[in-house]
Amino acid sequence: MSGPRIGILALQGDVREHARALSAAGARPVEVRRLAELAAVDGLVLPGGESTTIGRLLRVFELLEPLRAAVVAGLPVFGSCAGMILLARDVVDGRPDQPLIGGLDMVVRRNAFGRQVDSFEVDLDVVGVEGPPVHAVFIRAPWVDKAGDAVEVLARVAEAPVAVRQGPLLATAFHPELTGDSRMHRLFVDIVRSSGSGR
C-alpha cells in the first residue's frame, strides 16, 4: 500500500472511525500512544473524545511537549471536536488547568452548543470540499470564539466558525469520521502530501 502514514492519537476517543475514514481517503492509518510511534508519522489526527481526559493522558504519558514541538516544526494535524479544542491557543468554559497542544491561533468555547440533548446533525458548505454539502454531526461540540488573521474559516453554523485551517493544521467542531463521507479526511491527506513530509 502507498499513501502517507497518518497517526491517530489513541489515548481515548473514536480512533477506529478516523482509521476507517483515513483508509478511505488513501492514507495508511496507525495508532499513536508512544513517542516512538509519533516520530514515525507524516501527519496526525486528534480524534473526538473528552478533551480533559486526552489532555491529562498526554501529560501522564509524556506526549504533550513532544507534540507541541512537532506542531511548531510543521507536522500536519487534523483535530475533530476534542481534537479542535486541543489545537486551540486557549479554551473558554473548559477547566483552567486543561492541557492544550496549541498551534491554531484561536480561542474555542467548549460545549458551546449545549449538552447532549442539544447535539445535532446539519448539512454544511465547507470551503475546499467539492460536491454536495458535508453532513456534519455535532456532539457536545465546541465552536471558535475568536480567531487570528492567519486562521482561515472553512465553515460556520449560524455565525460561529466550526471548521478552520491555518497552514498544515485543520480542525472541525463536528465529526466527519462518523458519516462515511471521507472528503474532509481527503482534504487533510492532501495537506499532508503537499507538506512535503510524505515519505
Residues annotated as catalytic are 81, 175, 177
Among 65, 95, 194, 196, binds another protein (CB under 8 A): 95
Near another protein by CB under 8 A, which window of 37-45, 55-63, 100-108, 186-194? 55-63
Among 19, 44, 71, 82, binds another protein (CB under 8 A): 82
Of the pair 114, 148, the CB lying nearest another protein is at: 114
Q: Is 110 in the site for another protein (CB under 8 A)?
A: yes
Q: Is 186 in the site for another protein (CB under 8 A)?
A: no
Q: Which amino acid is at 31?
A: E
Which residue has 491554531 as its cell numbers? 104
Q: Is 139 in the site for another protein (CB under 8 A)?
A: yes
Among 33, 68, 89, 156, binds another protein (CB under 8 A): 33
Cα separation of 32 and 65, whole Å? 15
Near another protein by CB under 8 A, which window of 19-27, 133-141, 142-150, 188-196? 133-141
Q: Is 23 in the site for another protein (CB under 8 A)?
A: no
Q: Is 13 in the site for another protein (CB under 8 A)?
A: yes
Shortest Cβ 143–another protein spacing (Å)? 13
The DSSP-derived string for the chain is: --S-EEEEE-SSS-HHHHHHHHHHTT-EEEEE-SHHHHHT-SEEEE-SS-HHHHHHHHHHTT-HHHHHHHHHTT--EEEETHHHHHHEEEEESS-TT------EEEEEETTTT-SGGG-EEEEE--TT--SSPEEEEESS--EEEEE-TTPEEEEEETTEEEEEEETTEEEESS-GGGSS--HHHHHHHHHHHHTT---
Shortest Cβ 9–another protein spacing (Å)? 11
Q: Is 158 in the site for another protein (CB under 8 A)?
A: yes
CA dihedral 18, 20, 24, 29 (to 10 degrees): 70
Where along the sequence are the contacts to another protein (CB under 8 A)?
A: 10-17, 33, 48-50, 52-53, 56-57, 60-61, 81-82, 93-95, 110-111, 114-123, 137-140, 157-158, 175, 178-180
